[in-house]
Structure 1
Amino acid sequence: MKRAVILYLLCLSLACQTTAQKVGLTSNGTQNYVLRPSDFIQVDIFQEADLHRKTRIEADGVVHLVLIKPFRIAGMTISDAQQEIARRYYVEDFLQSPEVSVSVLEFSPRKVSVLGEVARSGFVMIPPDRKLMLVEAITSAGGFTGLAQKKEVQLKRTDKSGKIQVYTINAEDITRGTGGRDVELIDGDIITVPDHRSKVNVLGQVNRPGFVAIPSDRKLTLVEAISAAGGFTRLARRTKVQLKRTDNQGRPQTMEINVDSIMRESKTRDIELRDGDIINIPERLT
C-alpha cells in the first residue's frame, strides 16, 4: 500500500509538470490565477474524453465535475486546482494517475468605480492575472481633469464585516514620486476624485460617507452635512459626533457634539462648517 501511494504521488508530480505546460498555453499564462465564483472553466483529463467538462463555478465556490463529488475550488490557483482534481479522481478510485488540465474560458468580472474629477467616470476592470493600482485605475478612467483635487483622492472599501472604510490618499505625491505608496485595489472599491471647491468630509456611521461640498452662496451646517451624506445609520452614536478642524494658527482641534440634542430642540444651535472640516460619527456602544 505504501509503495502504491509513493508511486501515485510520483506520477501525480510528473502529471502536474506536463499539465503546467498545457495550461501555460490554454489559459494564456494565468496558471497562478486564483479561481473565483462565476469563473467559467474547462477541465480536461488526458486520454479521458468522457470526463471533459465545461462548467461555471457556483456562487459558493463549489464545482461539479464528472464522476467525482462536488467540492470547493474557489480560492485555489489553477495549479492547485489541477492537483486537487487529480487527487480526487485517484482517491475516489476512478483513475490511477490522471493528467489534469484546467483553463479559464471566462473570468468572473472584478471591477472598481472611479468617480468625480476624471475624464471618464465609470468602472475599471481588474485584470485577472495581475494587480490593479490606484494610479493605473485613474489613468484608465482618462486621468484627472483640470479641477481635480489630487491631494485628497478618496478610497471607499467595504471590509469583511460589511463596514465601509474610507481613506484619503495624496495621489499627487504618488504620481510625482515625492512620497506615498500606490495602493492596490480590490473588487468593489470606489475611488472618488474631488474638485477644488470648498468641502467637508463626513465619515463613520452615515449611509453615504464622503465629501460634501459647501455651497458657494450660503453656509453649510453640521446637520445639513450629515443629511447630505445620507443621514445617520441605525448604529450611529448621535450624542458623540466629532468635529475636527484646523484653527487659524494651523493647530488641530476636536469638538464633541450632541447632534441628537440639536435636531430635537432647535437648529439655531447648529454649527457652521468650514472648508476642510472632518465630521466623524462613531458607532454606538451595544
Structure 2
Amino acid sequence: MKFNRLLHLLITTLLCLCSMAAHAQGKADYPLGAGDTIRVQVFQNPDLTIETRVSESGSITYPLIGAVEIGGLSVAVSEKKIADALQSGGFIQKPQVNITLIQIRGNQVSVLGQVARPGRFPLETVNTRLSDMLANAGGATPTGDDIAIVTGVRNGKIFRKEIDIPSIFLNDKSQDNLLLQGGDTIYVHRAPMFFIYGEAQRPGSYRIERDMTVMQALAQGGGPTARGSEKRLRLNRKLPDGRVQQIEPQLTDPVLPNDVLYVKESIF
C-alpha cells in the first residue's frame, strides 16, 4: 500500500514537471507582438531590469543598447538578441538575459460564433494551428457547423478560407490545419437545421448531419407517433426565389437546410 502511494506521488510529480516544462517551452516560443508587456532582467545586473511595452513598430528601448527590434521574434530569440548586443557593445561579458511576459496583448486570435468559449486568445507558440485554437475555445457547440471560416492578412493581402474541420482528421487534409497569425479571426457559424412537426415523437428543430436523408431526419425526431405514419410525410422547402415548395418525399431523399418535415396522421 505504501509503495503504491509513493509510486502515485512519483508519477504525479513527473507529470507536473513535464507540464511545467511544456508550458515554459511554449512561452519561449511565443512570438512577441505590439502591446505585449515584458520584464527584461540580466543576471547579476539588477540596474538593467526594466518593464516595458513592445511598441507598434515592434521595438523596445533598452539601457546601454537603445532600440531593439523584437516584434515577431520568440522570447528565446529576443533574449539572445539583447544578450548579443550587450556583449558586442562591450558592456557585459557573457550576459544571461531573461524575458518574462507580464501581459499579452499582441499576436492574439479571435474565435467567434458557435464555440464553447468565444473570445481572444494569444498565440503562445509560433506554430499554433487552427485545431489548437479551436481547442482553446472549447470546440464547437452542438449547434456549431463543421466549417470554420478563417480570415486575416497574409503577405499584405486580405485572407479568407473556409475549412472543413472533420476532413482535417478524417480525410487526412492536414494542410487545411492552418498556421495562425496574430490578428486572425476564426468564425464558426450555426449548423444548418431542419424542422419536424406533426405526429412526430419529438417535434422541434435539429442539426442536419452530413448526407442526412428523410428517414434519418424522421428518426432524429423519434419516429412517428402511434397515430402517425412514415408513409404520409410532407416536406416544405424554401426555393431560392423565396417560394415554398411542398413535396411528398421519399425516405431516401436528402434533407436540405431549413426543410420543414410534417408527419401526417395515418389513414387507418
TM-score relative to the length of structure 1: 0.50
| Equivalent residue in structure 1 for 2:133, among 129, 134, 137 | 137
User: Per the alignment, do residues 158 and 125 of structure 1 end up closer, same or farther by CA in structure 2, a change over 3 Å counting?
Assistant: same
Matched, 1:187 2:185: no
User: Per the alignment, do residues 97 and 218 of structure 1 end up closer, same or farther by CA in structure 2, a change over 3 Å counting?
Assistant: closer
Name the SS for the 2:65 alignment partner.
Answer: coil
Larger CA Rg, structure 1 vs 2: 2
Contact (CA 8 Å) 1:124, 1:137: kept in 2 or not? no
Matched, 1:170 2:164: yes
Aligned residues: 177
**1:125 offset after TM fit, Å?**
0.8
Deviations 1:39-60 (A, max 9, x none): 2222222222222222112211
Aligned to 1:107: 104
Contact (CA 8 Å) 2:31, 2:107: kept in 1 or not? no
Q: Map of 1:118-157 to 2, 5 A cutoff?
A: 118-120=114-116, 122-129=118-125, 131-150=127-146, 152-157=147-152
Name the SS for the 2:84 alignment partner.
Answer: helix
| Equivalent residue in structure 1 for 2:42, among 39, 42, 45 | 45
Aligned to 1:253: none
**1:72 offset after TM fit, Å?**
1.3
Contact (CA 8 Å) 1:170, 1:180: kept in 2 or not? no
Q: Map of 1:223-234 to 2, 5 A cutoff?
A: none
TM-score relative to the length of structure 2: 0.53
- 2 CA distance for matches of 1:61 and 1:164? 21
Aligned to 2:56: 59
**1:97 offset after TM fit, Å?**
3.6
Contact (CA 8 Å) 1:120, 1:142: kept in 2 or not? yes
- 2 CA distance for matches of 1:197 and 1:132? 32
Contact (CA 8 Å) 2:35, 2:56: kept in 1 or not? yes
- 1 CA distance for matches of 2:24 and 2:75? 12
User: Per the alignment, do residues 74 and 217 of structure 1 end up closer, same or farther by CA in structure 2, a change over 3 Å counting?
Assistant: same
RMSD: 3.4
User: Per the alignment, do residues 79 and 218 of structure 1 end up closer, same or farther by CA in structure 2, a change over 3 Å counting?
Assistant: closer
User: Per the alignment, do residues 173 and 103 of structure 1 end up closer, same or farther by CA in structure 2, a change over 3 Å counting?
Assistant: same
- 1 CA distance for matches of 2:150 and 2:77? 33
Q: Map of 1:9-88 to 2, 5 A cutoff?
A: 28-29=24-25, 30-88=27-85
Matched, 1:219 2:216: no
Unaligned 5+ runs, structure 1 = 1-23, 199-214, 221-274, 276-286
Deviations 1:199-244 (A, max 9, x none): xxxxxxxxxxxxxxxx958737xxxxxxxxxxxxxxxxxxxxxxxx
**1:61 offset after TM fit, Å?**
1.4
- The one-letter amino acid paired with 1:75 is G
User: Per the alignment, do residues 149 and 159 of structure 1 end up closer, same or farther by CA in structure 2, a change over 3 Å counting?
Assistant: same
Name the SS for the 1:28 alignment partner.
Answer: helix
Percent identity of equivalent pairs: 23
- The one-letter amino acid paired with 2:173 is G
- The one-letter amino acid paired with 1:166 is R
Name the SS for the 2:41 alignment partner.
Answer: strand
Unaligned 5+ runs, structure 2 = 1-19, 195-236, 243-256, 258-268
- 2 CA distance for matches of 1:218 and 1:79? 55
Between 1:134-143 and 1:49-58, the stretch displaced more is: 134-143
